[in-house]
């Protein structure tokens, strides 16, 4: 991957590639990087999700900000570039809970978190739900925990390299 052509994907953005190289999301905390790819067509894209759903936001001017709308926007562009939805696969990373809010971070009866501090968990759940509803399987994930990470998605072979200061590098 050293020396590979990199395209950086900022918060609440998506980027696509139809050529070999890397799509990079740096310093993911509670955000989730959703990497979608059609290996047979060599077409890939990444969306850097900030929040779980557009419905809970006052402003809806940027669909890439939300799991429910950002994934759909990315899929539409991938299909325009020649990817087949039925061949799309996903890899996801991020969704950390970086702060301990003690008693403010509590669980509901079903085990889901109720606190604002759990935005990472809410992002993960929204991404999984959206992908499931769209029929796109998740092939690998590195989500949750209490540490940040960066994603380097190789568009040629579908390998997602996760880098973290705490745990080093991991390829999925």
Annotated active-site positions, please? Answer: 31
Other CB atoms within 10 A of residue 113 CB: 17
Q: What are phi and psi of 122, to 5 degrees?
A: -65, -40
Strands 138-143 and 89-94, sheet pairing: parallel
- Tokens (6 digits) for 157: 């072979």
Q: What are phi and psi of 8, to 5 degrees?
A: -90, 135
Reported as half-sphere exposure (CB side, CA atoms, 13 A), residue 37 has a value of: 25
- Residue written as token pair 């997602």: 160
* DSSP code at position 20: S
């Amino acid at each position: 991957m050293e020396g590979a052509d990199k395209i950086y994907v900022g918060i609440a953005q998506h980027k696509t590639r139809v050529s070999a190289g890397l799509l990079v999301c740096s310093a993911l905390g509670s955000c989730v990087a959703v990497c979608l790819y059609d290996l047979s067509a060599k077409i890939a894209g990444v969306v850097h999700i900030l929040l779980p759903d557009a419905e809970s936001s006052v402003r809806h001017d940027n669909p890439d900000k939300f799991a429910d709308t950002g994934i759909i926007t990315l899929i539409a562009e991938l299909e325009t570039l020649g990817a087949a939805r039925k061949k799309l696969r996903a890899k996801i990373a991020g969704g950390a809970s970086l702060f301990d809010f003690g008693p403010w971070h509590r669980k509901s009866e079903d085990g889901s978190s109720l606190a604002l501090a759990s935005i990472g968990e809410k992002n993960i759940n929204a991404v999984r739900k959206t992908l499931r509803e769209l029929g796109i399987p998740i092939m690998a994930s590195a989500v949750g925990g209490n540490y940040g990470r960066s994603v380097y998605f190789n568009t040629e072979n579908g390998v997602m390299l996760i880098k973290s200061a705490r745990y080093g590098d991991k390829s999925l």
